[in-house]
């Protein structure tokens, strides 16, 4: 099996955002998408009082992160779970509230770099795409069993693919000859179906379809829709949530949840806002922050990152 590499995106900025409430003894950060543990390693190094609960649905990532974080074994708890299960994870650990939650969304370095996982369209590989490869439908299952209408909906909704219906019809036609099982055949089909002018702009012609399949296989948007409110609810007052997303659908969802919880509904000219009407969150970023050209040059995966962060200022448990 090929080996993964790992360059954490926006590492210094992320640590700077989560660090302030992690300086007190007993402070807990939930790294909800642990991956290979790069962000957690930096937090543990720079926040000596912090304990990190590292959550990941990928058992291979948990194993690799455990090796990386071995020097901090006494300050880490690694849990195999999906990140919308944060409330259950914390309840099982007897933790009432935390001082930080970090999300680094999308596909991880390990999943992209290990060819056999089937996430990358640049190399021929089995059409798997499961972040937890111990259960659930694969991308091949989706391609070979979903009706054309459902395939088109997924490609349009999750991949923002303009040619979703044409692609879906072609998939259904071709799978009647032989089931899809490897990525190269799907990539060849996409090159045939997508018109030449469209192939010359907007990056690789398979990018949007592979994104859509990955989101469907892993229910990424459904998980995120549940996870962000759960993360905010888990924060103590003064705790912070930091989210890095890599495509517009995720970022829009995070933006809307943060906006809803950071505004008040009382009139602007009210001299005193009652406690129950004050916002739960204070935004720590102006819009979505992006990686610098310098970081993108070193780590191309940072090119599409959008970072948002907020601090809990009302509700929850007092810090």
Judge whether 60 is annotated as a binding position: no
For every residue of the chain, DSSP letters joined together read -PPP----TTHHHHHHHHSGGGSSTT-EEEETT-TTSHHHHHHHHH-TT-EEEEEES-HHHHHHHHHHTGGGGGGEEEEE--GGGHHHHHHHHT---EEEEEEE-S--HHHHH-GGG---SSS--BS---SSTTSS--HHHHHHHS-HHHHHHHHHHHH--TTHHHHHHHHHHHHTTS---BHHHHHHHHHHHS-HHHHTSSS-TTHHHHHHHHHHHHTHHHHHHHHHHHHHHHEEEEEEEEEEESSHHHHHHHHHHHHHHS---S-TT-SS--GGGS-SEEE-SSS-B---HHHHHH-GGGGG-EEEEEEE-SSS---
Judge whether 37 is annotated as a binding position: yes
Judge whether 158 is annotated as a binding position: no
Judge whether 128 is annotated as a binding position: no
Judge whether 104 is annotated as a binding position: yes
Judge whether 239 is annotated as a binding position: no
Judge whether 211 is annotated as a binding position: no
Cite the annotated binding site by residue number.
Answer: 37-39, 56, 83, 104, 111
Cite the annotated binding site for S-adenosyl-L-methionine by residue number.
Answer: 37-39, 56, 83, 104, 111
């Amino acid at each position: 099996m090929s080996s993964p590499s790992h360059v954490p995106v926006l590492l210094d900025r992320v640590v700077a955002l989560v660090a302030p409430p992690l300086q007190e003894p007993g402070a807990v950060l939930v790294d909800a998408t642990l991956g290979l543990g790069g962000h957690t390693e930096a937090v543990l190094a720079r926040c000596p009082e912090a304990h990190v609960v590292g959550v990941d649905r990928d058992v291979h990532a948990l194993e690799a992160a455990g090796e990386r974080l071995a020097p901090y074994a006494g300050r880490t708890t690694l849990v195999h779970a999906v990140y919308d299960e944060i409330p259950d994870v914390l309840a099982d650990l007897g933790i009432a509230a935390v001082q930080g939650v970090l999300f680094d969304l999308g596909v991880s370095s390990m999943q992209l770099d290990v060819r056999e996982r089937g996430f990358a369209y640049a190399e021929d590989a089995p059409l798997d795409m499961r972040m937890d490869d111990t259960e659930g439908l694969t991308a091949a299952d989706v391609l070979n069993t979903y009706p054309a209408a459902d395939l088109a909906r997924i490609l349009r909704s999750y991949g923002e693919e303009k040619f979703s219906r044409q692609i879906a019809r072609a998939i259904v036609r071709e799978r009647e000859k032989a089931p899809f099982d490897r990525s190269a055949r799907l990539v060849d089909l996409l090159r045939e179906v997508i018109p030449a002018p469209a192939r010359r702009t907007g990056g690789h012609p398979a990018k949007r379809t592979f994104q859509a399949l990955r989101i469907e296989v892993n229910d990424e948007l459904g998980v995120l829709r549940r996870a962000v409110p759960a993360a905010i609810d888990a924060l103590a007052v003064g705790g912070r949530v930091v989210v890095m997303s890599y495509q517009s659908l995720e970022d829009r969802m995070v933006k809307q949840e943060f906006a809803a919880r950071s505004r008040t509904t009382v009139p602007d000219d009210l001299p005193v806002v009652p406690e129950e009407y004050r916002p739960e969150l204070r935004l720590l970023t102006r819009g979505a922050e992006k990686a610098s050209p310098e970081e993108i040059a070193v780590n191309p995966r940072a090119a599409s990152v959008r970072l948002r962060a907020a601090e809990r200022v009302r509700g929850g448990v007092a810090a």
